[in-house]
Structure 1
Amino acid sequence: MVQIQKPNIPTFPPEDLWSDEPPLETYRHLEELIILLTSLNRFWSDRQDFFAAGNMTVYYSSRQRKNEELRGPDFFVVLNTERRERKSWVVWEEDGKYPNVVIEVLSDSTSSVDRNQKKLLYQDVWRSRDYFWFHPYTLEFKGFTLMGRKYVEIEPNEQSWLWSDELQLYLGVFNEKLRFFTPEGELVPTPEEAEARALSVAELERQRADAERQQAELERQRADAERQQAELERQRADAERQKNAILRQKLLELGINPDDMG
């Protein structure tokens, strides 16, 4: 019997997939992703039902091949999933879940792809509900949300922020950085900003307590001064009474009735 040798066809993807993204282009790109990731993780510190990542590969198809132009998203959030560490996001290992929100940090070399091919990928294949892009140098900022099967541009509010219905947060430019804002308009701080704010609040509280102690000390000193003044008045009155008593006694010794003196 002739045995037919099966061709050695590599299986794709392997079971353990590492992220395979190139380094970020500039420090501003890195800083932006750190700000987005750390601020959201801190803001949702009590939640265990999401995964947020930056510069991480998303594997979504067995036919997927590495494409130097179509890289993984710069930042993405998946909702209703387990919050744990991952080497990459592998859709078929995650119950078929795709990112709910994608943010691309534009650069001169990637902006055309982000505005076109990636936008179509996120719209038609991933069906990611919200898609935003931001350029850290020109500050170009746009957002889109799925309406039916197409992305429509999100209208900015009075502060030029864009609402993400998935995150229930605004995104807006603050100090030339893309930031999250609460529905009430509060900036979502990074851990460092939150710590600095807490230290500032603690310092203000310390200053307030010092001011209250100083005010209390002034009140105590004022009360002491009033008591001393009252004591001086009492002593003066006693001295006046003693003087009058001595004078009366001397007049009586001289046979003069003080009461007759008017």
Structure 2
Amino acid sequence: MKLMPVELTLEQQESQTVQTAEVHNVEVQNAEVQNAEDHNAESEEWTPTPPPTDLIFDDGEPLESNRHRIAMNALIEAVTLAYEGREDYFAGGNMFIYYSSKQARNRDFKGPDVFITLNVDGTKERQGWVVWEEEGRYPDVIIELMSPSTAAEDLGNKKKLYEQTFKTGHYFVYDPFAPESLQGWKLGENFRYEAIAPDDRGWLWCSSLGLWLGHWSGTILRETATWLRFYDEAGNLVKLSFELAQQEREIAQQEREIAQQEKDRADRAESDLQQEQLEKQQEKERADRAEAALAAEREQKQKLRDRLQALGIDPDQLV
């Protein structure tokens, strides 16, 4: 059966027109909202403001080894000691760096083993480094402590990130179990990394810090290895706290030894003086005894002459 078209009343036509307009308005509003969300999503990449409670600062993953942990702490402590008295820098390690809201949402954690940011408030407490809370500042120096399982990432994706996104001035890598692994790069004028040539000692100069990075063989926290250490511009090792304490103990011991040596010399000098005085006294006493004996002899001779003369005998005439 063929259905015949139904003619709508004027009131029904007006109602249908209103409904159509409302649907159109809703569609326009939805489109505007979607455009606004898309625009916000694009702009949010560079101006993220997630609340601090949304950020994770600990993934619970340990460092590769105890040696890696010691190496990280030693480098951070050395910077702190090299910059003693300064409050215009921050040195951190094994802590997350948040640089975009997309990264934060994706839980794409980036936690360099060691990083230093200059010309910032060093007294501020930080759980991590949140770029948009640091006036857009990225680390000036990053050091990654490699291992066979991380080398490809450290030399690949991370290096690219630090070069192109962070634009970190100096980037170094080192495997605490492989001394020959030390490499470094400096951001060039074209904002691309250029390899830093080592000097005759195999050290790399970090102009951002005004320090050398080089090898040092010895024991730290009962672990003996070839460590990555900081040296000042003159080539002096930036000593760690335990080394400074040991140095102070050695200096104090040397001072005690010097003081004891001085005392021993003074005692010997006093003893020599006393011995000299004793010898002089003994010499004087010998001289006094000799003088007394001579005087007694003269007196005895004089008495004998007097007796002879009393007897009328000239002593000088006696043979």
> TM-score w.r.t. structure 2 length?
0.75
CA contact (8 A) 2:305 2:315 kept: no
Residue 248 of structure 2 corresponds to residue 198 of structure 1? yes
CA distance in 2, matches of 1:100, 1:58: 13
CA distance in 1, matches of 2:113, 2:127: 15
1:137 corresponds to which residue? 177
Residue 201 of structure 2 corresponds to residue 162 of structure 1? no
CA contact (8 A) 2:49 2:132 kept: no
CA distance in 2, matches of 1:186, 1:98: 29
Runs of 4+ off more than 6 Å: 1-7, 256-259
* Aligned match for 2:151, one of 111, 116, 119: 111
2:267 corresponds to which residue? 217
Residue 118 of structure 2 corresponds to residue 76 of structure 1? no
CA distance in 2, matches of 1:105, 1:145: 17
CA distance in 1, matches of 2:261, 2:235: 32
Cα deviation 1:24-58 (Å, max 9, x = unaligned): 11101101011111222122220000000110101
Cα deviation 1:207-260 (Å, max 9, x = unaligned): 11111111111111011111111111111111111110000111111118999x
Bigger helix fraction: 2
1:100 corresponds to which residue? 140
CA contact (8 A) 1:144 1:151 kept: yes
1:20 corresponds to which residue? 58
Tell me the CA shift for residue 14 of structure 1: 2.5
CA contact (8 A) 1:248 1:258 kept: no
Residue 293 of structure 2 corresponds to residue 243 of structure 1? yes
CA contact (8 A) 1:51 1:77 kept: yes
CA distance in 2, matches of 1:213, 1:100: 54
Q: Which has the higher contact order (CA 8 A, sep 6+)?
A: 1
Cα deviation 1:154-197 (Å, max 9, x = unaligned): 11122211110011000111010100001111111111111111
Tell me the CA shift for residue 15 of structure 1: 2.8
Secondary structure in 1 aligned to 2:260?
helix
Secondary structure in 2 aligned to 1:188?
coil
CA distance in 1, matches of 2:200, 2:135: 39
CA distance in 2, matches of 1:94, 1:233: 88
Secondary structure in 2 aligned to 1:186?
coil
CA contact (8 A) 1:130 1:143 kept: yes
2:162 corresponds to which residue? 122
* One-letter code aligned to 2:50: P
CA contact (8 A) 1:49 1:79 kept: yes
CA distance in 2, matches of 1:202, 1:225: 34
CA contact (8 A) 1:18 1:87 kept: no
2:73 corresponds to which residue? 34
CA distance in 1, matches of 2:288, 2:315: 20
CA distance in 2, matches of 1:165, 1:216: 52
Alignment length, in residue pairs?
257
* One-letter code aligned to 2:257: Q
- Give 5+ residue unaligned stretches, structure 2: 1-21, 35-40, 42-47, 218-225, 307-313
- Give 5+ residue unaligned stretches, structure 1: none
CA contact (8 A) 2:93 2:111 kept: no
CA distance in 1, matches of 2:154, 2:251: 41
CA distance in 2, matches of 1:40, 1:203: 28
* One-letter code aligned to 1:124: Q
CA contact (8 A) 1:136 1:177 kept: yes
CA contact (8 A) 2:95 2:111 kept: yes
From the CA coordinates, give the structure whose radius of gyration is larger: 2
2:231 corresponds to which residue? 181
CA distance in 1, matches of 2:70, 2:154: 19
Tell me the CA shift for residue 18 of structure 1: 4.0
* Aligned match for 1:87, one of 127, 148, 152: 127
